[in-house]
Structure 1
Amino acid sequence: MLKKFSRYLILGLGLYALIAALVITFYKDDPQAMIWQDREAFNKRYIEKLTLKKQTTLNSVLDYLGSPDLTYAKREGEQVLQIIFYRTQHIASDGITTIDECTGLLFKNGQLILWGPNAYKKYQENN
């Protein structure tokens, strides 16, 4: 009896571990379905991992993080500058997402060139 119970227990734990590993490996988080606190943390973790060594495109960011909270774009000759903002910190419970609650990502012709507090300043300088 104890031997049979042990087999079922080991089989159940193994099956649980397999299912958990599959979910962790293949399940993609959907930022649009998250509550705002989880989405802020998700956005912040992703943005903290960005580097300029890896060519990050606007489309790859949009695919991973979903629609930005705020976005601005302008054309200067052949160059297109676009800054998108994702909420990464809560400041006021007023139902409105403002720039000071977000982290900006600046793209030039679809390639990430700068992010963080200086991104919006750089975008404004190019007026």
Structure 2
Amino acid sequence: MREQKNRIVPVILGLLGAYLLFVIITITLWDGAERTPDQLDWDDRQQHNVATIATLQMGMEQAQVLSLLGSPDFNEAFTASDGVQMQILRYRTHRLKGDGMTTEDETTPLLFRDGVLAAWGKTALAQLEP
């Protein structure tokens, strides 16, 4: 009977050690996994948007901006009278009311002309006025 207990203890300790190793690896990989902007909660996303917009450069391709910022909160597009394709992507950068909704006045607009970043902020919208 005693011999059976002596054999069971190493098996139990081995299983416990394997389980702990599994948990440590899972937690390490889970915490270390990089999240996309679309996977961030609203507060982290807003901070990400502010920091990323500050690094944008005129002339960046729209696809590159989308890869950095993720899906916009608002998206508008039209063709200008001269045939240029215009698109305005708006990203939330400053919360005004804690009402659970994002409104356009809480966003920073990015203006693209034919898929190239041309302006952002209030300047972007001023370019559209006649």
Q: What TM-score, normalized by structure 2, do the two folds share?
A: 0.69
Q: 2:71 aligns with which of 67, 70, 79?
A: 67
- Compute the displacement of 1:97 (Å): 1.1
Per-residue CA deviations over 1:19-54 (Å, capped at 9, x if unaligned) read 9xxx5xxx64411111101000001101011122xx
AA of the residue aligned to 2:86: L
Greater CA radius of gyration, 1 or 2?
A: 2
Distance in 2 between the 1:88 and 1:99 partners?
10
Give the number of equivalent residue pairs. 100
1:78 maps to which residue?
83
2:97 maps to which residue?
92
What is the percentage of aligned positions where both structures have the same residue?
36
Q: What TM-score, normalized by structure 1, do the two folds share?
A: 0.70
Q: 1:109 aligns with which of 107, 110, 114?
A: 114
Distance in 1 between the 2:107 and 2:66 partners?
15
> Which segments of structure 1 move beyond 4 Å, counting only runs of 4 or more?
none
Distance in 2 between the 1:28 and 1:74 partners?
34
Where do 5+ consecutive residues of structure 1 fail to align? 1-18
Distance in 1 between the 2:67 and 2:34 partners?
11
Distance in 2 between the 1:38 and 1:94 partners?
17
Where do 5+ consecutive residues of structure 2 fail to align? 1-27
AA of the residue aligned to 1:88: T
| Secondary structure at 1:90 match in 2 | coil
